[in-house]
Amino acid sequence: MRKLFLATLALGAFGGAAVAADMPLKAPVPPPIAVYNWTGFYAGLNAGYGWGDASSINNPVDPASMIVFSNDNFPTSTFNSSFRQKGAIAGGQAGYNWQFSNRVVAGIEADLQFSDIRGRDFHQAFLDPATFLNNFSFNAITERHLEWFGTVRGRLGFLATPSLLLYGTGGLAFGDTTSRGDVILAPAGPSSIGVSIGGFLFGCATAPATPTSTCYTGSNRQTSVGWSAGLGGEWMFAKNWSAKLEWLHLDLPGSTVTLVSPSPPSTAGVSTVYTFNHQTYDIVRAGINYHFAAGPVVAKY
């Protein structure tokens, strides 16, 4: 009887093991999915590079200057300029995001930038020797420098992944620009030029000790308002931290600079005006942001 009991027990144990071996294994627990909360305030720093084209047109004002800059003495475009502006930028930004779903993020951002985007045009011009009985040489210098700018923009983005935001942006732009122009007499030796008409006297001279002389000079600093638009991407790479790469286009009004002939020897009011073109700049910048919302990363199963 005892042998029969032991045999039955062994058979049961063997059958149970066989059934257990045939049962499917339980699926492993999946790793947690990172969910990022983009809603909240953020602030950060950025740096980059900008460029744009610049040009100016010369418009003489008084009768004497109109003679100096007439078609008989110079080609019409002699003192016009065209040059490239470029340089580094750096600054900071701050904003607020609203995450409406697991795909859509909207926000508003403001930034303020130091700018070294500048350019310069230099070329020589020669008076008609048949008119002034001398081969006068002039240096024409034109400069423009975007010293700082800022924007206030809306942002609308799409979450390509929970941590990667691709967005478009656009809004207000403002900036401070310095423009300058000089017309310098620089002949091979001592020389002088004078024109008198309608009560206006234009005069400019050089001497052995001063081989050049400034005939017209002027500058203007202007703060103007325009618009901006661009595209970018932002990656939430750690708790509370994100990095971004952005292209931004700025459009600001042009400016005018009155170049005055020094008095004496010229009569007061002898001047010409350089009209600078509309300002358009393209900016590429990289930045880093700190997000103040607590706990942007949570685990989800």
DSSP three-state, residue 101: coil
Question: Which of the residues in the chain have pLDDT under 50?
Answer: 1, 4-21, 23, 133, 294-301
Altogether, the residues listed in the chain come to a count of 301
The pLDDT assigned to 99 comes to 94
Which residue, among 105, 110, 109, has the nearest Cα to 36 in the 3D structure? 105
Where in the chain are the domains?
A: 36-294
Give the model's pLDDT for residue 126.
77
Domain 36-294 has CATH 2.40.160: yes
Return the pLDDT at 248. Answer: 98
Both structure tokens of 197? 């008409």
Which pLDDT does position 135 carry in this prediction? 62
Is-contact 130 183, C-beta < 8 A?
Answer: no
- Residue 44, strand partner residues: 93, 289
* % of the chain surpassing 70 pLDDT: 81
Per residue, the 3-state secondary structure of 103-152, as one string, reads CEEEEEEEEEEEEEEEEEEEEEEECCHHHHCCCCEEEEEEEEEEEEEEEE
What is the model's pLDDT at position 131? 53
Predicted local distance difference test score (pLDDT) of residue 68: 84
Spatial separation of the C-alpha atoms in residues 266 and 102, rounded to whole Å: 71
d(C-alpha 255, C-alpha 279), whole Å:
9
pLDDT for position 14: 45
Which residue reads 């983005």 in tokens? 157
List, as one string, the DSSP characters of 51-67. EEEEEEEEEE-SHHHHH
pTM: 0.82
Q: What is the pLDDT of residue 29?
A: 58
Q: pLDDT digit string (tens) for 115-156?
A: 999 999 998 887 765 555 456 788 999 999 999 999 999 999
